[in-house]
Chain A
Amino acid sequence: MNILSIILAAVLSPFFIGVVNQTKAFFAGRKGPGFFRLYFTIGKLLRKSRMLPENSTWIFDIAQSASLASVAVAVIIFPWTGGGGVSSFVPVAFFFYLLAAGRFLTVLGALDAGNAFEGMGSSREVQFSAFAEIVVFIVLGFLVFLSADTSLSGVLSGIRVEDWKDNVIPLVLVFLAFVAVFLSENCRVPFDDPETHLELTMIHEAMLLDVGGPDLAFALYGAALKFELLAAFLVMMVMPCFGSGWVHAAALFAGVGLISVAVGVIESVMARMRFLKSPQSLMGAALIAALAVLVFICF
């Protein structure tokens, strides 16, 4: 059952990106590319042959596949069916370090290609994630406090109803702070604009300018997986405990779908922030998360 849910998660992740895009198309009055566009794109890219930049070394060669591998491990350890398996003894920080490792490998690959624009993209990527990490760890600290457990499934076992009654303010604050991280880490509006895919205004994907063919497919699929993972984390921060099993997994995937729709709506009604404002907003999110911890400790 656990393995089936992991396979389901791996198969469904491009679909959620499709949901975001269809929501945006609906708001813009367009027909949209369809829910399954990313599957076709990945399929097309996988059939192409590889091209490597002349000056690159073995780092560029393995960067995208290794990055995808580390995100895939995060998918495997995530408690999709509500606990059990590996997730009950893996610490929750490990989950975020896996995602960070994926990002680190992408950055290394981009720097190895020796392209100045990719260097700029890497610099921005690292700068943003450095700010996002502050928020992530304050939020994690809060969740560990709340659940009195440091394992991944312990933290993500669902918020108890009595916690919702006693600690509403901190939960709402922490949720909003993590929404900022979620949008920033997945290069979504208002932190970044995925419409400018592979262009220089893009922050996260300026790093992929030299990547093509199967490597680009890996990068796109890895991004979709990361979107799904962080959305699932977000859902588990507010979802009450349903017990474990298929009901839990179904509720989780439905929640991820809802969040995808919400992201589409946000992107339809908001413009991208000025570049300098993004780290400031992430620091604001860190302050909100710190307030949550404060409220939790005081009351």
Chain B
Amino acid sequence: MHTFSEIVLALFLIADLALAGASRLKSAIRFVALQGWIVGVLPIFLWDWQANGCPGIRIWGISLMNAVVKGVAMPLLLSYAVRKARTRREVEPIVSFQMSRFIVFLMAVGGFATGRLLHIHETIASEFAIPVSFTTMGTGLLLISARKKAITQVIGFLVLENGISLFGAGILLEYGIVVELGILLDVFALVFILGIAAFQINRTFSSTDTDRLNHLGDTHLMHPHHKHDHVHD
């Protein structure tokens, strides 16, 4: 099963690169869903079947729940938010897609370098999980900071969370479950709230561009063509 887990982790890395270069919200959501599925099934792949026999109900449970919440529920919620908010379907990048991909590549270089420096090979389930999770966290942060739309930032948070739970799955196969549950709840609430918030923002201001939200404070300095976005209450 070791081989399977590594193939799956390679797919995870490619999903990171694809996310950085995804130009449509739909495809970005699809890649997040793929990552969610992988995070879900990874504990089963990492389980040492020959030594420990069939994994217990706890592992199956966490795996199923992760896959369902991150691979199905959240992507559905996100696409619902995209549909409801009627935003344009394109991702609006501040840093170009090519540059973002290259940055993710550099992050992978950094991730593998730090993963080697950490020297925790004895205790962990898979030594590849650590660099891949570093890269994924970096990709999440990049998506949060280098994309304009509010929805893309939710996607970035999800990717960041995928990275964190990958780290958890890679290091603490058995005891990370409580922590994992906490994070899952947090992120679920976050996606829920941000999804609704994006929808509400959009209904009020006809745009979820976060650049424009910055102008909300100083009413008099606003550009004339932004005026119709503004509400007086």
Docked pose: A173 CA to B105 CA in angstroms: 13
Q: Is the CB of B21 within 8 A of A284?
A: yes
Q: Report the minimal beta-carbon distance from B13 to chain A, rounded to whole angstroms.
A: 6
Q: Report the minimal beta-carbon distance from B229 to chain A, rounded to whole angstroms.
A: 31
Q: Is the CB of A294 within 8 A of B3?
A: no
Docked pose: A172 CA to B5 CA in angstroms: 12
A31 interface contact, C-beta 8 A: no
A101 interface contact, C-beta 8 A: no
Q: Is the interface of A mostly helix, strand, loop or mixed?
A: helix
Q: Is the CB of B128 within 8 A of A172?
A: no
Q: Report the minimal beta-carbon distance from B168 to chain A, rounded to whole angstroms.
A: 20
Docked pose: A202 CA to B162 CA in angstroms: 40
A9 interface contact, C-beta 8 A: no
Q: How many residues of B contact A (CB 8 A)?
A: 26
Q: Within B1-52, which residues are at the interface with A (CB < 8 Å)?
A: 2-3, 6-7, 9-11, 13-14, 17-18, 21
Q: Is the CB of B17 within 8 A of A284?
A: yes
Q: Which of these, B10, B18, B102, B128, contacts A299 with CB under 8 Å?
A: B128
Q: Within A250-287, which residues are at the interface with B (CB < 8 Å)?
A: 280, 283-284, 287
Q: Is the CB of A294 within 8 A of B21?
A: no
Residue of B whose beta carbon sits closest to that of A175: B10
Docked pose: A288 CA to B11 CA in angstroms: 11
Residues of A within 8 A of B18 (CB): 284
Q: Is the CB of A294 within 8 A of B14?
A: no
Q: Is the CB of B14 within 8 A of A173?
A: yes
CB within 8 Å for A172 and B21 given contacts A291-B108, A298-B115: no
Q: List 11 A-B contacts (CB under 8 A).
A: A168-B3, A168-B10, A169-B13, A172-B7, A172-B11, A284-B17, A284-B18, A284-B21, A288-B17, A294-B109, A298-B113
The 4 A-B residue pairs with the shortest CB-CB distance, nearest first, are A168-B6, A172-B10, A169-B10, A298-B112
Binding site for A on B (CB under 8 A): 2-3, 6-7, 9-11, 13-14, 17-18, 21, 97-98, 101-102, 105, 108-109, 112-113, 115-116, 127-128, 131
